[in-house]
Amino acid sequence: MKHPVRLGLVGLGTVGTGVVQMLQSSKALIEEKVGAPVQLSMVCDKRATMATVRKLGLENIFTRNAEDVILHPDIDIFIELIGGYEPARTFVLKALHAGKHVVTANKALLAKYWGDVFEHTRVYRRLVYFEASVGGGIPVIQALNEGLAGNKISKIIGILNGTTNYVLTRMSQAGLSYPAALKEAQKAGFAEADPTFDVEGIDAAHKIAILASIATGTWVRLTDVVTEGITKVDPRDMAFVRREFGYVIKLLGIAKLTEDTVEIRVHPTLIPDTHPFANVHNEYNAIEINGDAAGDVMLYGKGAGQMPAASAIISDVTYLARQVAAGTAGKLPYVSGDYRRHLKAVPKDEMISRFYLRFTVKDQPGVLASISGILSKLGVSISGVYQPEHGFQNIRGIPIMILTHEVPEATIERALKEIGQKSYIRAKTVLFRIEE
């Protein structure tokens, strides 16, 4: 019998528990694919109760000290599931230095320290696998990194966060306010007690940066991602744009790529209700990738939850363990490219889009003429103007909706700044970008 591939796991939270359960329930299937025994040799968690440890049958391999796992001489694969920047970064780099391969679900760590992590894999000839970092149970990393390896990727666009998609789904379908929809998501277990990373778009920014880095073979920095969240989305706008224009609002991560540049952003976006993304509801995610040879490729599945994430971890463990068992792990890199090279990021001001604008104004003559005149003067071409008679009660004025043709972001910002100084404006103008 072949020498067993030994695993060490740090982080026995929701996903970590799911990973242990899958290692136990799918042991025969995993080992058949690996071609060798796979053994969970040590588990670490600072906060797990001993009742949980005993329930999982881990008493004899449990520790509170991560160093016990990192420095254990017989462990081949280190599974990091604690999340966040630190101490996860320290643990992962130490594990690579100690000769271990790594499986992680940590999108924050990878997005912020991409170059550091993969420079360590090169120096120590070890591998880092990270399928669970993007898309939950959707195998998007493998699809992009391997399945589309021969393609030049020009665009990646996706619903990348299950929490925000759940919230927006409930706002759209039930007409709930943002606070009410968020509270429901928290009760359902799809939103954290502190949902900031999700609702402010930070989690999706981590994920689109990772996908863009793989696609370009460079390090697309988190600071290059123009990021806006969903906290200001109003269900009245959602209902209006659906009824009048056939648009749905989704939080999208978008990366448009060339040989030398990257335009990368996360924000609430209007998309046609005929687009497949319009029917991606609740905690589900979807990612569309455009390759020069393959064309458009769409992936869809659960982007959140214990077992979808555990499924992705077990996939990485299985295929990494197969290489360990064969003695080939680390001979070739998993992620190729120049980890230290940065593409030129397109500044926000130069990004071009169509826009939906909702002005809240005093009910007086000449307001629409003034607004349209300023937009025209500054080079904003209007494709439609709407003044609904109902659906926007309880606002301090009357609404005027304007759709624009494509225009640079800087132009829109200049126009809104000038319009915002007019005495007839009663509230901050609502703005959404449109992706066809």
Phi and psi for 71 in degrees, rounded to 5? -100, 0
| 112 contacts: CB under 8 Å, gap ≥ 6 | 85, 206, 222
Annotated active-site residue 207? The verdict is yes
- Return the number of other C-beta atoms located less than 10 Å from residue 195's C-beta: 19
Contact in structure between 371 and 386 (CB atoms under 8 Å): no
Phi and psi for 358 in degrees, rounded to 5? -120, 115
Looking at the DSSP bridge assignments, the partners of residue 257 are: 262
From 107, 207, 250, 302, active-site residue? 207
- Return the number of other C-beta atoms located less than 10 Å from residue 57's C-beta: 11
Which residue type does 415 have? Answer: A
String of DSSP letters for 57-124: T-GGGEES-HHHHHT-TT--EEEE-S-SSTTHHHHHHHHHHTT-EEEE--HHHHHHHHHHHHHHHHHH
- Return the number of other C-beta atoms located less than 10 Å from residue 116's C-beta: 16
State the catalytic residues: 207
